[in-house]
Structure 1
Amino acid sequence: MDTKELLKKVKTIELKTRGLTKQVFSGEYHSAFKGRGMAFSEVRDYHYGDDVRSLDWNVTARFNSPFIKVFEEERELNIMLLIDISESNNFGQKERTKKELMLEIVAVLAFSAVANNDKVGAIFISDEVEKFIPPKKGKAHCMMILRHMIDYKPKSKGTNINEGLKYFRNVIKKRSIAFVISDFIDYSAFVDGLKIANKKHDVVALKTEDPLEKELPKIGITKLYDAESEKYKWVNTYSSSAQEKYKQAYIKRSKQFEEAMRKARIDYATISTDSQYLEALITLFQRRAK
């Protein structure tokens, strides 16, 4: 994609998501994320009933009188976008692939961070860390993230989200809101990584899927291809047993994913390429705000 075409596509994404950003995050963003961290503000005289664990012993010793540390809610957040760019995300119907859905979700989250004066960064992940974009403020920085996401060519086709989570934990020291955006096909392999990251940071899983993953289209005997394993399998799509087996396998995977996220205490949302992701995001943030 040449530079002119790339910039045009980025601008189109910005215009498409601008209104959604205002609609989703005018209230929900603050109530769902703001005030989750506490930052030191000042010291004051100790009053009866204050928590003695908040005593500032250095100041107390210096003035020979008890002083308390006062904390306030942190107003500036780090938003980190951990984006699965493996080959399986190119799957989808003609209207929109999972990658295109991810791009719009990334745009909404990034521009929302800008609107709230927060920093936003990104980590592109296949079965290795492909690219790291440090968190910064500003619209230009968000546009740069989108340009890279549109034009970046992954070195690998596989998926190993654990590599990205490990890199994130080592590089980002400040407590952050980490959106892990993936189709979570092999989620069981990195549930423990999500748990570890969630101990220090606030991890949110956004799972993308396509209707073709829910029900097998009736297109005759066809060879299905797994983009990650690079293997083919012949399937008779008219077979009722094949149809039912395919559907039940999807239901089972979905339930197992949801149960795994609940046990790991990870907030999550599942968003399909044929749906309006706006509703799913609003529901997620309203649930977090309760």
Structure 2
Amino acid sequence: MQAAGPGSNTARPRNAAACVQVRLDDLIAQRIAARSLVLAASRKVSAAQAGVKASRFRGRGVDYVESRGYQPGDDIRSMDWRVTARSGRPHTKVFQEERERSVLLVIDHAASMRFGTRVCFKSVQAARAAALIAWSAIRGGDRVGALGFGSGVTGEVRPAGGPRGVLHCLRALADWDTLARVERESGPAPLSQALERARRLARPGSLVVLLTDGFSSDAAAEAPLARLAGHGDVRLLLMTDALELAAPPRGRYAVALGGVRRWLEFDAAAADTQWTDAFRHRRELLLQQARRLGVAHIAVDTRDDLSRCLAPLGLALATRRSYV
């Protein structure tokens, strides 16, 4: 069920279709709004001498700085053969050692995410939030990757930098949404399985942003969530809709379930309580796990202006611990 409603949203869609399905052009448009969301920029350092201090990052940095004359002890693998041939004197390449962070977006595509009564579906709002974070991340020099789960979605995009890396993720989000809408889901995919996949994909020091309504949470999710939080930063964006937070006005409502028409009656205060409790209990397990592990969470409603709603995420990231 979906209907337009009050409230503002970042990069409001031009047509109703964009309210119920993820569109690539809508996600690309979040690039403009990303200027107002400031994520902490990654740090890059240059080593004066190789081997002076052991690093937790393996391999040589990939950022080329300059070429200089060869000096005794320089690694032969860093020789700049083109400059050497052109100048007639041996030259070696100087690289900048990277300390960039990877941002991994873990996005729930369960059937419960394809629901919304104000402005858009939770799935659309989650995709827009993910796009906003992705554009903000590359502005700070970070890499961005994505992982989808639920409704037959099992795709992964390894973290990569620059606009090209973001676009790769955004195309995946749109494709995964299309797959989720046509796939017949036999049952919700446990969150624990998605977090295990994320743990294998995320490098130490990564920021993992989980976007879900919490309905796929399970008791087994706490262990992989703890391991992710122990090796990096984890943030939970809990997607909600107004109808999940408060029962509808008293009355009799017709609904279609599996092609069968049924009626819901709200004629007593007890029904209101049962309604809100049903939704609260479904997400309470994940919230309890997050609190125990110290994982910060932000509630994101389908009506929210994402630039304002996600601002606390940027402030929290500015004080993240260093893994350098």
TM-score under structure 1 normalisation?
Answer: 0.72
In structure 2, the partner of 1:277 is: 306
2:143 touches 2:159 (CA, 8 Å); kept in 1?
A: yes
> Can you list the C-alpha shifts for 1:116-173, whole angstroms capped at 9, x where unaligned?
2211111111177610111111212312222221232035632312112111222334
Structure 1 distance, partners of 2:239, 2:211, is 7
Asked whether 1:194 is paired with 2:225, we answer: yes
Q: 1:247 to 1:86 in 2, by over 3 A?
A: closer
Structure of higher RCO (CA pairs closer than 8 Å, 6+ residues apart): 2
In structure 2, the partner of 1:58 is: none
Structure 2 distance, partners of 1:203, 1:78, is 12
In structure 1, the partner of 2:33 is: 20
Q: 1:114 to 1:44 in 2, by over 3 A?
A: closer
Asked whether 1:146 is paired with 2:170, we answer: yes
In structure 2, the partner of 1:50 is: none
In structure 2, the partner of 1:169 is: 199
Structure 2 distance, partners of 1:138, 1:287, is 23
Asked whether 1:238 is paired with 2:267, we answer: yes
Q: Which has the higher strand share?
A: 1
CA deviation after TM superposition for structure 1 residue 287, in Å: 4.2
Please, which runs of 5 or more residues in structure 1 have no aligned partner?
Answer: 46-53, 55-72
2:100 touches 2:143 (CA, 8 Å); kept in 1?
A: yes
Structure 1 distance, partners of 2:107, 2:223, is 18
CA deviation after TM superposition for structure 1 residue 91, in Å: 0.8
In structure 2, the partner of 1:122 is: 146
CA deviation after TM superposition for structure 1 residue 180, in Å: 0.9
Structure 2 distance, partners of 1:221, 1:125, is 32
User: 3-state SS of the aligned residue for 2:247?
Assistant: coil
- AA aligned opposite 1:168: A
In structure 1, the partner of 2:94 is: none
> Can you list the C-alpha shifts for 1:195-245, whole angstroms capped at 9, x where unaligned?
1221112111111011111122235154585x9xxx998641233320132
Q: 1:128 to 1:198 in 2, by over 3 A?
A: farther
Asked whether 1:220 is paired with 2:249, we answer: no
TM-score under structure 2 normalisation?
Answer: 0.65
Given the alignment, which residue of 235, 238, 241 partners 1:207? Answer: 238
Structure 1 window deviating more from structure 2 (146-155 vs 263-272): it is 146-155
Q: 1:220 to 1:196 in 2, by over 3 A?
A: same
> Can you list the C-alpha shifts for 1:36-61, whole angstroms capped at 9, x where unaligned?
x999886769xxxxxxxx9xxxxxxx
1:126 touches 1:156 (CA, 8 Å); kept in 2?
A: no
Asked whether 1:286 is paired with 2:312, we answer: no
